[in-house]
Amino acid sequence: MLRSSTLFVRTLRDDPADAEVPSHRLLVRAGYIRRAAPGGYTWLPLGWRVLRKVEAIVRDEMDSMGAQEVHFPAMLPRDIYELTGRWDEYGDNLFRLKDRKGADFLLGPTHEEMFTLLVKDLYSSYKDLPVSLYQIQTKYRDEARPRAGLLRGREFLMKDSYSFDIDDAGLAASYNAHRDAYERIFTRLKLPYVIVKAMSGAMGGSASEEFLAPIEVGEDTFVRCTKCDYSANTEAVTTAALSPDTASYATAAVVETPNCPTIASLVDFLNANHARSDRAWKASDTLKNVVLQLRHPDGSTEVLVVGVPGDREADIKRIEAQVSPSEVEPLDDAGFAKHPGLIRGYIGPQVLGATSATGVRYLLDPSVVTGSEWVTGANVAGSHVLHLVNGRDFTADGTIEAVEVAAGDPCPTCREPLEIARGIEIGHVFQLGRKYADTLGLSVLDQNGKQVVVTMGSYGIGVSRAVASIAEVFHDDLGLKWPRAISPVDVHIVVTGKNGDDITIAGEKLAAELEAQGLEVLIDDRNGVSPGVKFKDAELIGIPTIVVVGKSLAEGNIELRDRHAGTNEAVPIADAVQRVVALVREG
RNA sequence: CGGGCUGUAGCGCAGCUUGGUAGCGCGCUUGUCUGGGGGACAAGAGGUCGUGGGUUCAAAUCCCGCCAGCCCGACCA
């Protein structure tokens, strides 16, 4: 039994000044965590209980899907991460340290290498597969900007698991088993989630999905369809397939457009000097050609021009995700100087493309469909061309998803409008494939005695981040309100009497009886603390069921308060145990 | 890494403009009263004023560097 009189906790009346988001504010105020280091938090008794309950649910579901728990050191030698190049690749986000002999170590940001080598160490036959291993461990990442309390720390608790299969079908099965387990975990945690398609990016795998808790303070932007169940990370959104434009258009014509380096100035100029008969010119009539520079992993660079409708912005991160592992940046002045064929502000597709005069690679956003007509640069300063038709007057080297996704864009599956939302990444499932197994030499003998490279999946859940996410979802102005499954205790008994009086005695008796039924009990037995203080504390701490033993005892009643519903019910003290136990058992 | 704001007692803040005794509220200790919504009165404890340097007879206060925090962006998953 936890007693408020001795529990190591101090609730704060005021919000801490450095906490902005609700989870951070309330977890500190209610005495669950304390900041101990930049991006690092101490877990106090109440917080530690919640964290362990979340961990227990994760562990339970991982075990029942057949994964086996192991535990690696957090401090790892450099050479293992040299094997995959990640000692360098991870850059500043990696915590590095030296031992007394000057040897390099790191604090593990994630453990693909260790798991892969462990399986390589022990297994060598297809008969051993499939196998899934996991650990729940403190991870270290030297984040550029830790923020929002537990939501992005530099030290955090993560469950990471890895599956090992002989073939793609096996990987798909392992992936789905993890995905299903994750759904059960987040359901048990009462954490709302959206599964979004994600980019596999530089990791080189295929399928990749993120579990996002749709919460405004989250750092991830995703889209979801207002009608069907499509959702995706903004980088991974695909454009709805559009049919070619079959209308016929006037012959392309170059017009002088002095002082029109921007889309807005161009549209204004055209409406003033080359008005259309049917309607006014719009930004969406123009084709904007964005000049980028790709930096390939070998250090070489390449100029790339991407064509997008003039009313849309090019999304560099989205483009980058598709050309990964190359990096993308806008072409700088020096770059333009090397390409005199590119007239800034007046670039048109006529001089672009692998077989063109400039030889610069040219890709179009899919919204620039075949057969559509455009106003675009004439490749002469101060001139644009009207009625330039894709496919008739110019061709590109291909397409690339390039525009910044906007609310209202059509859903790629059902064409209804998409909406944009924010979320916290609480889980990630990822078909890694053979990248690590190849690099680290993890292969097994198959039925025919042939070496086969193992295919892997990696799957993560941010355990400490889940605690914060739950606090984000379940709170109000008064404080936290935990879901029953992870509440630090089952019931919070508030005793408003004075030491030794009937109320105190009744409260202690009730607490003992509830504990005898197997419930976890917190009793506020503080003497000389006014009822108002105890009520405020109870609301702040947020145990879902609060029992008040106080003045209504005179009528033979206790008060049963539901922190979530905000209700307060008088219950005869004789029925109290049975009522509370029933509440807790039904979950 | 860039921009903005901020570091004074466990928490929230004032003092800084105009240099000269370290201050308020909450919390904490002791006592009395009080006892259903962060109660009252009285007496206390608690401070390298983020840090290093400079200016000055004298620095929380003025100047410079650094560190840390929050927010926005970049980055990350």
Whether the predicted pLDDT of A316 surpasses 60: yes
Residue nearest to nucleotide B73 (CA to C1'): A145
Nucleotides of B under 7 A from a protein CB: 1-2, 10-13, 25-27, 33-39, 68-77
A14 in contact with nucleic chain B (CB within 7 A): yes
The nucleotide closest to A235 (CA, C1' atoms): B77
A93 in contact with nucleic chain B (CB within 7 A): yes
Higher pLDDT, A101 or A463: A463
Alpha carbon dihedral A136, A142, A145, A147, in 10-degree steps, equals 30
Which of A357, A240, A355, A361 is closest to A289 using CA atoms?
A361
H or E element in which residue A233 lies = strand A231-233
Contact predicate A350/A383, CB 8 Å: no
- State which amino acid sits at residue A386: L
Give chain A residues 464-483 with Cβ within 7 A of strand B: 478
Higher pLDDT, A78 or A543: A543
Distance A566 CA to B53 C1' (A): 57
Distance A16 CA to B15 C1' (A): 21
Distance A526 CA to B9 C1' (A): 26
Write down the CATH number for the domain with range A253-399: 3.90.960.10
The nucleotide closest to A20 (CA, C1' atoms): B70
Residue A222: pLDDT band with limits 50, 70, 90: confident
Distance A497 CA to B43 C1' (A): 28
Distance A340 CA to B56 C1' (A): 62
In degrees and rounded to multiples of 5, residue A302 shows phi and psi of -145, 140
Contact predicate A223/A409, CB 8 Å: yes
Contact predicate A516/A576, CB 8 Å: no
The nucleotide closest to A38 (CA, C1' atoms): B68
Q: What is the pLDDT of residue A243?
A: 77
Q: Is A84 exposed, middle or buried (0-12, 13-18, 19+ CB in 10 A)?
A: middle
Whether the predicted pLDDT of A483 surpasses 90: yes
Give chain A residues 520-539 with Cβ within 7 A of strand B: 527-533, 535-537, 539
The tokens describing A400, both together, are 């690339």
CA dist., res. A176 & res. A165, Å (int): 13
H or E element in which residue A564 lies = none
Least confident of A146-155, A255-264, A484-493: A255-264
Distance A34 CA to B44 C1' (A): 28
Distance A227 CA to B65 C1' (A): 58
Q: What is the pLDDT of residue A238?
A: 74
End-to-end Cα spacing for chain A: 20
Residues near A112 by beta carbon (within 8 Å), at least 6 away in sequence: A84, A162, A432, A436, A456, A458
Write down the CATH number for the domain with range A2-72+111-237+420-471: 3.30.930.10
CA dist., res. A51 & res. A31, Å (int): 14
Residue A358 backbone zone (phi > 0: left; psi -120 to 50: alpha; other: beta): alpha
The nucleotide closest to A536 (CA, C1' atoms): B38
Distance A395 CA to B50 C1' (A): 61
The tokens describing A303, both together, are 């100029």
Give chain A residues 485-524 with Cβ within 7 A of strand B: 496, 498
Q: What is the pLDDT of residue A59?
A: 97
The nucleotide closest to A424 (CA, C1' atoms): B77
Domain ranges in chain A with CATH number 3.90.960.10 = 253-399
The nucleotide closest to A537 (CA, C1' atoms): B38
Residue A480: pLDDT band with limits 50, 70, 90: very high
pLDDT tens for residues A194-207?
Answer: 888 876 544 445 67
A540 in contact with nucleic chain B (CB within 7 A): yes
Residue nearest to nucleotide B34 (CA to C1'): A530
Higher pLDDT, A306 or A234: A306
Query: Can you tell me the mean pLDDT for A545-563?
Result: 94
CA dist., res. A157 & res. A51, Å (int): 9
Least confident of A58-67, A312-321, A448-457: A312-321
Distance A343 CA to B23 C1' (A): 66
CA dist., res. A317 & res. A304, Å (int): 15
Dihedral of alpha carbons A395, A399, A402, A406, sign? positive
In degrees and rounded to multiples of 5, residue A303 shows phi and psi of -85, 140
Q: What is the DSSP code string of A242-262?
A: -PPP----PPPEEEE-TT--S
Domain ranges in chain A with CATH number 3.40.50.800 = 489-586
Whether the predicted pLDDT of A293 surpasses 90: no
pLDDT tens for residues A492-519?
Answer: 999 998 888 899 999 999 999 999 999 9
Q: What is the pLDDT of residue A203?
A: 45
Residue A560: pLDDT band with limits 50, 70, 90: very high
Residue nearest to nucleotide B68 (CA to C1'): A38
A209 in contact with nucleic chain B (CB within 7 A): no
CA dist., res. A197 & res. A204, Å (int): 15
Q: What is the pLDDT of residue A519?
A: 96
Query: How many other β-carbons are positioned within 10 Å of the β-carbon of residue A407?
Result: 11
Distance A531 CA to B61 C1' (A): 44
Residues near A29 by beta carbon (within 8 Å), at least 6 away in sequence: A11, A12, A14, A15, A16, A479, A540
- A446 alpha-carbon distance from chain centroid: 37
In degrees and rounded to multiples of 5, residue A272 shows phi and psi of -80, -35
Let me know how long chain A is.
587
Q: What is the pLDDT of residue A484?
A: 95
Whether the predicted pLDDT of A291 surpasses 70: yes
Domain ranges in chain A with CATH number 3.30.930.10 = 2-72+111-237+420-471
Which of A407, A420, A399 is closest to A241 using CA atoms?
A399
Cα-based distances in Å from A491 to A21, A461, A535: 27, 28, 14
Contact predicate A342/A381, CB 8 Å: no
A218 in contact with nucleic chain B (CB within 7 A): no
Residues near A250 by beta carbon (within 8 Å), at least 6 away in sequence: A386, A387
The tokens describing A312, both together, are 């849309």
Highest averaged pLDDT of the listed ranges A39-48, A343-352, A377-386, A544-553: A544-553
Query: Can you tell me the mean pLDDT for A545-549?
Result: 95
Residues near A532 by beta carbon (within 8 Å), at least 6 away in sequence: none
Q: What is the 3-state secondary structure (H, E, C) of A75-122?
A: EEEHHHHHHCCHHHHCHHHCEEEECCCCCEEEECCCCHHHHHHHHHHH
Q: What percent of chain A has pLDDT over 90?
A: 38
The tokens describing A587, both together, are 């979950």
Distance A11 CA to B12 C1' (A): 13
Q: What is the pLDDT of residue A63?
A: 96
Distance A93 CA to B2 C1' (A): 18
Write down the CATH number for the domain with range A489-586: 3.40.50.800
Query: Can you tell me the mean pLDDT for A40-52?
Result: 91
Whether the predicted pLDDT of A296 surpasses 80: no
Whether the predicted pLDDT of A402 surpasses 90: no
Strand positions, DSSP E, A350-508 = 361-364, 373-377, 383-389, 398-399, 418-433, 443-445, 451-453, 455-462, 475-476, 479-480, 491-495
Query: Can you tell me the mean pLDDT for A108-126?
Result: 90
Which of A39, A35, A117 is closest to A73 using CA atoms?
A117
Whether the predicted pLDDT of A26 surpasses 60: yes
A17 in contact with nucleic chain B (CB within 7 A): yes
Distance A38 CA to B65 C1' (A): 22
Query: Can you tell me the mean pLDDT for A374-387?
Result: 84
Contact predicate A151/A465, CB 8 Å: yes
Query: Can you tell me the mean pLDDT for A149-169?
Result: 91
Distance A23 CA to B10 C1' (A): 21
Query: Can you tell me the mean pLDDT for A51-68?
Result: 96
A216 in contact with nucleic chain B (CB within 7 A): no
Average pLDDT, chain A: 86
Highest averaged pLDDT of the listed ranges A121-125, A237-241, A265-269: A121-125
Query: Can you tell me the mean pLDDT for A537-545?
Result: 94
Contact predicate A197/A233, CB 8 Å: yes
Distance A146 CA to B3 C1' (A): 18
A38 in contact with nucleic chain B (CB within 7 A): yes
A552 in contact with nucleic chain B (CB within 7 A): yes
Distance A544 CA to B9 C1' (A): 35
The nucleotide closest to A316 (CA, C1' atoms): B74
Contact predicate A42/A34, CB 8 Å: yes
Contact predicate A255/A377, CB 8 Å: no
Least confident of A8-12, A354-358, A535-539, A559-563: A354-358
What is the DSSP code (8-state) at residue A411?
P
Q: What is the pLDDT of residue A204?
A: 46
Residue A130: pLDDT band with limits 50, 70, 90: very high
Highest averaged pLDDT of the listed ranges A6-10, A68-72, A263-267, A339-343: A68-72
Whether the predicted pLDDT of A324 surpasses 80: no
Query: Can you tell me the mean pLDDT for A423-450?
Result: 89
Q: What is the pLDDT of residue A185?
A: 96
